[in-house]
Chain A
């Protein structure tokens, strides 16, 4: 990571190095804005990954459906969300997978964020 700032736990800054490393994977995901490309990926995933020249690391991450591996391979979540859509995963599914929680536990954590004193103060103005 190019940034000299101290790392933030559990947080991956999508900087120039990541953008360069992840270009092929993100380009593939960007193509999923078009339904015909989503269909083509679903039809022959390997061929579609070939077409975009994914690295071995990126291909393995996609094959494993692992969001953290995709991020490690330079994926950006705004683009990965389009792949997640094909896989039928929403952002709670992605959150659960990345935090190692069940989807139900992850959802509950989101609700519990509303229960802290700080949240109540913000909610009640």
Chain B
């Protein structure tokens, strides 16, 4: 049986990709953010996931306003990153897991989510940068299932709906008969606003509320309407929806492994968090005992 071991949650600011490609990780500006990652990588080494179910939002690489799905699920064995127009070189993207994608799609539609399925899908920096952060300098040794949430064109799906979507994905993962070791990723945020006279807005108080509650009580994050979330976290801060959905896929109970919050990365209050499930705690301990070098 498949097991969801945990989740990695991170900001996906394009400038992070630039810093990686320039090798700027140790510069004073970048170090506090990149220092979040060694413990995450150590956790990943111990858990050795085979699959990442990636919740993110497309920023105008794969989707345009001609066809804008509220929720889209990749259903391919091959995905690529591409030129997004502002200078980042494409990152390598690992293979997809189409069979698992279809199992997730079946479950989502059964649970009455009217999703879009994509057998061809470019994945943008919101997926490629988190993978490059988690597995630096190489193609991530996992297969992926990309799931996108519209955070671009209002009306956006509510936080409640995104959490329910994630929980339905979690059901599909629990029922999956393969023995893959699965993690989720939720990317974007935290508070930031790129556009308008309020550009540069951040809200550490709301970000802390999200980080404190996402693990133990994700439903707390659904108390705000989308409009309230824009007010609290900024026009792009609503990317927290990706975190909420990813958290939903992890099951009822999780424990916090690591947390980093840093201001600013570009115009963004950046955060990196790891939660693990009871399965990971047990299996990680077992694996660590067997391979003490990873401890």
Residues of A within 8 A of B (CB): 3, 5, 8-16, 19, 23, 26-27, 29-30, 32-35, 38, 67-68, 71, 76-82, 84-86, 90-92, 94-95, 98-100, 106, 109-111, 113-114, 116, 118-119, 121-123, 125
Contact = CB atoms under 8 A, between A and B. Distances in A.
Interface in B78-94: 82-87
A29 B59 CA distance: 12
B282 interface: no
19 contacts: A5-B227, A8-B198, A8-B231, A10-B196, A10-B197, A10-B199, A11-B234, A15-B155, A33-B60, A33-B83, A77-B194, A77-B195, A77-B236, A91-B194, A95-B200, A110-B264, A119-B269, A123-B204, A125-B261
Given A19-B153, A95-B267, 10 more contacts: A11-B230, A16-B154, A33-B82, A82-B84, A94-B195, A94-B199, A98-B196, A113-B263, A113-B269, A123-B263
A13 B230 contact: yes
B229 to A, nearest CB: 11
Given A13-B230, A23-B65, A82-B86, A3 B154 contact: yes
A78 B154 CA distance: 13
B61 A33 contact: yes
Contacts of A8: 198, 227, 230-231
B138 interface: no
B208 A14 contact: no
Contacts, number: 163
B174 interface: no
B64 A27 contact: yes
Nearest to A37: B85
A96 B117 CA distance: 39
Contacts of B197: 9-11, 68, 98-100
A71 B199 CA distance: 12
Contact of A122 (B64, B65, B155, B211): B211
Interface in B187-235: 193-205, 207-208, 211, 225, 227, 230-231, 234-235
Nearest to A99: B199
Nearest to B207: A122
Contacts of B153: 14-16, 19, 76
A122 to B, nearest CB: 4
7 smallest A-B Cβ distances: which pairs?
A10-B198, A85-B86, A82-B85, A10-B197, A114-B263, A77-B195, A122-B204
Point out which of A38, A86, A116, A123 has the most chain B C-beta atoms below 10 A from its C-beta: A123
A76 B84 CA distance: 15
B262 interface: yes
Given A15-B155, A26-B65, A121 B199 contact: no
Contact of A34 (B83, B194, B230, B264): B83
Contacts of B86: 81-82, 84-85
Contacts of B198: 8-11, 99
Nearest to A38: B85
Contacts of A111: 263-264
Contacts of A110: 200, 202, 263-264, 267
